[in-house]
């Protein structure tokens, strides 16, 4: 049996871990509906006090804001907490939880505590795994001697390796769209083999290669690209689909993950032109130009751009970067940067087809159609249809792909206040013609409002 490289050993350990992995900063720990922000459990209606009727404790305003019944909220919370406690696997906490469960708002408090603890553990584990894999890539003897992509890269079957990057600024609702895309991918059957696609979301190996310091190697280093693609898309005859959805920007200024370029504090007070033209922003979290050029040579790289209302996008992380104004500065800078990249790659040079496509998050929402179920379902079906055509997927419809989607009850305008909204309206005026972008031969449903 051949000796495993450092990278192979880490990947073997990584792939053998039991249980579902939690990907992303504050993603939910179960494949359950997501409430606004980052799967926030606190945004749902509060549980009734002991000896009080449910009807009496939920105000009319709260009822209007939530699309869920009280029973559905309770089922969701019970399931969330059960899985959270199982994941933590702390027996003493479980015993205490049973006693605390019956007291007033104890359930909500316990949910919040469990949520915070679990996500803290998740952040630490993911950071550690990210840094370990990136170090392994650097140390890998095969990579160090693995020479030239021209020698073995050509053996990679491009049709069997698809990388989908869901591109959008921070707060664009990646966590809401990704489960839809993944569910759609999981229902595909490769007509060549009559077998399902092999799907991977948030590959730590790909993220390490794109975002981390790998010695002196750049993102587009031929040996690095070849090594990563050989692992992501092994020669097993199956079609592999890798979904990446890290936002722009991504992470914090002092993020524990060893990024090539971390988030910069000075972005918050800079103009969007200064940010978009800076070396730091163009390499955070990845240099898209280098990634696209290097990986599209050996893999089928697809770009899905997502856009959410600018006010909602800023409001979702309104305290980041020092407040609404600063956060808006950062997001506008990356919108300009992304637009410049998209304009350079409007058409795929090999096929002549559009190089990227667009999804307007507002067009997924039922409230956009005033709650009309037929219009909502028709719009969602059309979105899946044009995505399948762009991705060259055989199946153009999907059963249950939107089951994970729940409209957020948050009133984002009230979150940032009237002054914040007025300020953002001024910022939005400067975005005309820049964002949101419009793809080549765009359908009406692909043309988003700012």
Q: Which span out of 61-70, 304-313, 408-417 was modeled with the highest average pLDDT? A: 304-313
pLDDT, one tens digit per residue, over 149-178 is 445 445 678 999 999 999 999 999 999 999
Please tell me whether residue 165 adopts helix, strand or coil conformation. Answer: strand
- A 10 A CB-CB count for 105 gives 14
Are 245 and 180 in contact, with CB atoms under 8 Å apart? no
Phi, psi of 397 (to 5 degrees): -135, 165
Q: Which residue has the higher pLDDT, 389 or 211?
A: 389
What are the start-end ranges of the E strands in 123-239? 161-167, 189-190, 195-196, 198-201
Residue 407 — very low, low, confident or very high, per pLDDT cuts 50/70/90?
A: confident
pLDDT mean over 280-305: 96
pLDDT, one tens digit per residue, over 76-92 is 555 655 555 555 455 55
In sequence order, what are the residues at sequence separation of 6 or more whose Cβ sits closer than 8 angstroms to the Cβ of residue 210? 219, 244, 285, 286, 291
Average pLDDT, the chain: 77
In sequence order, what are the residues at sequence separation of 6 or more whose Cβ sits closer than 8 angstroms to the Cβ of residue 69? none
pLDDT, one tens digit per residue, over 195-213 is 999 999 988 889 988 988 7
pLDDT mean over 345-358: 90
Kindly tell me if the per-residue pLDDT of 402 is higher than 60: yes
In the DSSP assignment, the letter for residue 217 is B
Kindly tell me if the per-residue pLDDT of 425 is higher than 60: yes
In the DSSP assignment, the letter for residue 48 is P
pLDDT mean over 22-51: 32
Q: Which residue has the higher pLDDT, 24 or 389?
A: 389
pLDDT, one tens digit per residue, over 329-338 is 999 999 999 9
């Amino acid at each position: 049996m051949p000796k495993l490289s450092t990278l192979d050993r880490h990947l073997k350990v990584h792939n053998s871990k039991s249980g579902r992995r939690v990907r992303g900063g504050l993603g939910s720990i179960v494949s359950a509906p997501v409430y606004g922000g980052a799967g926030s459990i606190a945004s749902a209606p509060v549980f009734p006090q002991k000896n009080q009727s449910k009807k009496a404790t939920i105000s009319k305003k709260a009822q209007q804001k939530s699309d869920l019944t009280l029973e559905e909220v309770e089922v969701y919370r019970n399931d969330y907490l059960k899985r959270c406690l199982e994941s933590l696997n702390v027996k003493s906490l479980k015993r205490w939880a049973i006693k605390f469960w019956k007291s007033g708002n104890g359930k909500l408090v316990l949910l919040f505590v469990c949520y915070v603890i679990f996500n803290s553990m998740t952040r630490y584990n993911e950071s550690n795994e990210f840094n370990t894999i990136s170090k392994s890539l650097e140390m890998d003897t095969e990579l160090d001697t693995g020479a030239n992509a021209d020698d073995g890269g050509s053996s990679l079957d491009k049709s069997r390796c698809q990388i989908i990057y869901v591109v959008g600024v921070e707060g664009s609702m990646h966590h809401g769209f990704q489960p839809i895309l993944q569910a759609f991918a999981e229902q595909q059957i490769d007509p060549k083999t009559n077998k399902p696609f092999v799907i991977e979301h948030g590959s730590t190996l790909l993220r390490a290669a794109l975002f981390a310091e790998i010695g002196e190697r750049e993102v587009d280093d031929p040996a690095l690209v070849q090594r990563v693609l050989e692992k992501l898309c092994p020669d097993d005859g199956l079609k592999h689909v890798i979904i990446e959805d890290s936002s722009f920007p991504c992470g914090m200024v002092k993020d524990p993950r060893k990024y090539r370029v971390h988030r910069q504090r000075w972005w918050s007070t800079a103009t969007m032109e200064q940010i978009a033209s800076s070396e730091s922003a163009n390499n955070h979290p990845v240099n898209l130009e280098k990634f696209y050029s290097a990986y599209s040579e050996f893999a089928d790289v697809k770009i899905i751009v997502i856009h959410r209302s600018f006010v909602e996008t800023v409001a979702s992380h309104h305290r980041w970067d020092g407040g609404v104004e600063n956060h808006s500065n950062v997001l506008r800078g990356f919108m300009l940067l992304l637009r410049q990249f998209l304009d350079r790659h409007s058409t795929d040079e090999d096929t002549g087809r559009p190089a990227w496509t667009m999804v307007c998050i507002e067009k997924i929402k039922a409230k956009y159609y005033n709650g009309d179920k037929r219009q909502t379902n028709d719009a969602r079906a059309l979105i899946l249809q044009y995505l399948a055509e762009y991705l060259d997927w055989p199946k153009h419809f999907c059963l249950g792909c939107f089951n994970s989607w729940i409209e957020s009850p948050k009133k984002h305008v009230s979150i940032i206040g009237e002054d914040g909204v007025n300020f953002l309206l001024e910022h939005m005026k400067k975005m005309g013609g820049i964002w949101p972008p419009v793809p080549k031969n765009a359908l009406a449903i692909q043309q988003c409002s700012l």
